[in-house]
Amino acid sequence: MNNKNTLLEVRNLSAEVAGIEILKGINLTVKAGEVHALMGPNGSGKSTFAKVLAGHTDYTVTGGEALYQGKNLLEMAPEERSRAGLFLAFQYPIEIPGVSNSAFLRLAYNTMQAARGGEELDPLEFDDFVREKIKIVDMDPSFLDRSVNQGFSGGEKKRNEIVQMAMLEPKLAVLDETDSGLDIDALKIVANGVNHLIRPDNAIVLVTHYQRLLNYIVPDYVHVMEGGQIVKTGGKELALELEKRGYDWVRAEFDATRAAA
């Protein structure tokens, strides 16, 4: 199962926040070139899983393991995960008053370049570079001069996340409800941006509540989360079925299978 194309291998992962167990044994393997959709009702643990992968300090892993490119992901600090090519697009990108977006983007880019042994850019060089990158999501250059995400609309914040993804060129990008709060035009723009970034050597995990995003970014696998576990995995057609039938039948089927076993 483990080969050089495997980016992420999660086995029986469980985690808690403030003493409450949220993840109860997750198994997931992601290989280069794949797009995975992680769906499920509210409170099923999708976003928690995304944050645990990124190393959020509020969550405690209580069992299982996660290997990223064969290395123990859970031992790595959040910044080490980022520098190793793991990217989390936040569901609610954080506003940072007083830090200009362009300075923040340059700092993030240069940190990544330093980690990869690439060339760092001075503010002028970076300005040319970032102005190209923001075109991918049709972002107005005036957003570069503002404080990070401050006063941005929901859609503008999500675009800013995709700009960071475009700049940092992650191996594995986890997009946490990147579609939430977007109108249909913004959704198309963001989805189009993501599609441009899919390559044979990287992979994407889309955490989403709704099927509509998957009309624009077509997944290879659809996983359904429920009660802190992945209870069903299928192809892209599974998303359509969920859209029609809801989530309850998946849980019932899972419980029946488990009872039989």
Partner 1 sequence: MELVNTGAKDRYLESLLRGQPPASPLSWLNQIRADATERANALTVPTTRDEEWRFTDPSPLLKFSFQPARGAPRLAQADIQRFVIPEASSDRLVFVDGMYAEELSTHCGHEHGILVTSLAQGLSSHGEVLQQHLARHADFHNDVFCALNTSFLHDGALVIINKNVAYRTPIHLLFIATKPETAAYPRSLVVAETGSRCVLIEEYISLAENVYFNNAVTEIVVGENARAQHTKLQQESHAAFHIAHCAVTLARGANYISNTVTLGARLSRHNLHVLQAAEGTHCALDGLALISGRQLADTHTYMDHAKPHGASRQLHKCIVGDAAHAVFNGKVLVREGAQLTDSAQSSRNLLLSGKAHVDTKPQLEIFADDVKCAHGATVGQLDAEEVFYLRSRGLDEAEAKSLLTCAFAAEIIDKIPVASLARRLKQKVMEQTQVREQA
Among the listed residues 60, 65, 107, 199, the single contact to partner 1 using CB under 8 A: 107
Task: Determine, following the binding rule CB under 8 A, whether residue 26 of this chain makes contact with partner 1.
Answer: no
* Complex with partner 1: residue 81 or 159, whichever CB lies closer: 81
Q: With residue 112 as reference, give the H or E element that holds it.
A: helix 101-116
Task: Determine, following the binding rule CB under 8 A, whether residue 54 of this chain makes contact with partner 1.
Answer: yes
Among the listed residues 168, 189, 230, 231, the single contact to partner 1 using CB under 8 A: 168
Edge-first strand order for the sheet with 59-68 is 20-31, 6-17, 59-68, 71-72
Q: Tell me if 194 sits within 8 A of 208, measured CB to CB.
A: no
Among the listed residues 83, 171, 209, 236, the single contact to partner 1 using CB under 8 A: 83
119's tokens: 């060339």
Q: Tell me if 171 sits within 8 A of 128, measured CB to CB.
A: no
Strand partners, 153: none
Among the listed residues 48, 102, 160, 164, the single contact to partner 1 using CB under 8 A: 164
Strand partners, 96: 148
**What distance in Å separates the CA atoms of residue 220 and residue 244, rounded to the nearest whole number?**
19
Task: Determine, following the binding rule CB under 8 A, whether residue 90 of this chain makes contact with partner 1.
Answer: yes
Neighbour tally for 99: CB within 10 Å: 14
Among the listed residues 43, 62, 77, 246, the single contact to partner 1 using CB under 8 A: 77
Question: Rule CB under 8 A: which of 182-201 touch partner 1?
Answer: none
Q: Which residues bind partner 1 (CB under 8 A)?
A: 54-58, 77-79, 81-83, 87-88, 90, 93-94, 96-99, 104, 107-108, 111-112, 115, 147, 164, 168
